[in-house]
Each structure stands twice: as C-alpha cells, then as structure tokens.
C-alpha cells in the first residue's frame, strides 16, 4: 500500500514506478494495416544508485517483445535486436524513441488501434517485471494520446 501511495504522490499521470525506476511517456505506434510488427517508445529514469538493464518483455497482443536499436552502417540505418538488453545507468534517463532504441513487438495476435491502451510487462535485470499501460497512438510519441 505504501508503494502505491508513493507512486501516486510522486508520479504524473502515465508514470509507473518500480523500485528505483520511473517509466513515463509510454506509447505504442499504431500498426499499418497488415503490418507484422509494431514499435513502442518510453522514457526510463533511474534515480537510484544501482544500474539496471531492460532485457525485453511480454504483451498479450504480441508473441515477442524485444529491445531494438538503430545504428548507421555507412549511409544506411540498420535496426538490430539488442541481445544484451539496454543499459539503464544509475542516475540516468534513457529514452526509447523513433530512429533510436525502441521496443519491437512481433508475432501480433491482434493489431492494437489508435486510442486503445494495452498492458505491457517489461523485464529488467534488477527491478524485475514491471507492468505498465501503453496508449496506442497514430503517430508515435509526437501523437501521444493524453
């Protein structure tokens, strides 16, 4: 009960706290018709003294939830799974955004629609599983539904 009250007192709407992590600005981009994948974005703040690592997750609407990153190879941008996960250093904020690190949902069981909210459980090395609501937005983070 104290944890829930602390979260309610410290977090703005749309924020989830888990141990020393704060997750905010979560959004899933609505998929194009027939698309086999959808991407997700959020901000993770780690004000604590211990580094953590986002390693993946799970969601009812997708068979697979992975952390992906974008890298430049010459003049071509490539997307790759971050097989070792995404570091979340102590005292730092990490933003998953278009053109950079992001969540990739594949093997869609159904296509979430703009305006929906889906629940996603993220997995961290230290914080463990963290379940949060993620609104589905037509344009990604810039088009977030508030």
- Judge whether residue 6 has pLDDT over 60: no
pLDDT number for residue 19: 64
Q: H/E/C letters for each residue in the chain?
A: CHHHHHHHHHCCCCCEEECCEEEEEEEEECCCCCCCEEEEEEEEEECCCCCEEEEEEEECCEEEEEEEEEEEECCEEEEEECCCCEEECCCEEEEECCCCCEEEEEEECCCCCCCCEEEEEEEECCCEEEEEEEEEECCHHHHCCC
- The tens digit of pLDDT for each residue in 12-52 reads 445 565 568 999 999 999 998 889 999 999 999 999 999 99
Residue bearing the bigger pLDDT, 140 or 92: 92
For residue range 114-134, list pLDDT tens digits in order: 999 999 999 999 999 999 999
Q: Mind listing the domains of the chain with CATH numbers? A: 2-141 (2.60.40.1890)
For the entire predicted model, the pTM comes to: 0.81
Q: Does residue 71 carry a pLDDT above 70?
A: yes
């Amino acid at each position: 009960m104290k944890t829930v009250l602390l979260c309610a007192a410290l977090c703005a709407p749309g924020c989830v706290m888990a141990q020393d992590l704060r997750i905010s600005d979560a959004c899933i981009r609505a998929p194009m018709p027939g698309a086999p994948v959808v991407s997700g974005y959020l901000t993770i703040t780690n004000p604590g003294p211990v580094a953590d690592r986002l390693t993946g997750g799970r969601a009812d609407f997708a068979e697979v939830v992975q952390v992906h990153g974008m890298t430049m190879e010459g003049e071509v941008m490539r997307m790759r799974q971050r097989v070792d996960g995404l570091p979340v250093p102590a005292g730092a904020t990490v933003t998953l955004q278009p053109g950079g690190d992001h969540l990739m949902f594949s093997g869609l069981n159904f296509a979430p629609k703009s305006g929906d909210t889906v629940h996603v459980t993220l997995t961290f090395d230290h914080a463990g599983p963290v379940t949060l609501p993620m609104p589905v937005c037509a344009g990604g983070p810039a088009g977030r539904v508030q």
